[in-house]
Amino acid sequence: MRDGPTTNASLVLRLRDPRDETAWCEFVQIYQPMIYNLLRRKGFQDADASELTQDVLLVVMRAVQRWEPQPQRGSFRGWLVTITRRLMI
């Protein structure tokens, strides 16, 4: 997921409002294919990769309130990769 577009911090902050459909649509459009492709590269079959992608998006939806842009702690994309890896296990 490191080859995709740069994460816009304002988009991530807008995700804190679950009613911001525009932000969520933009987020899903950017990150859903990236998450899915990562899972496929790791050997997951299509159905499993699709299901895990949805699981990752649900975790983000529930946890995005706690994410703060702090470069010393890592990037949003790194956080997203960590979530994805934990769910892969």
Cα separation of 62 and 16, whole Å?
Answer: 9
Q: What is the pLDDT of residue 53?
A: 97
pLDDT along the chain (89 residues), means of 10: 65 87 93 95 96 96 80 79 93
- Give phi and psi for 29, each to the nearest 5: -60, -40
Contact 15, 27 (CB under 8 A): yes
Q: What is the pLDDT of residue 2?
A: 53
Q: What is the pLDDT of residue 54?
A: 97
CATH number of 9-88: 1.10.1740.10
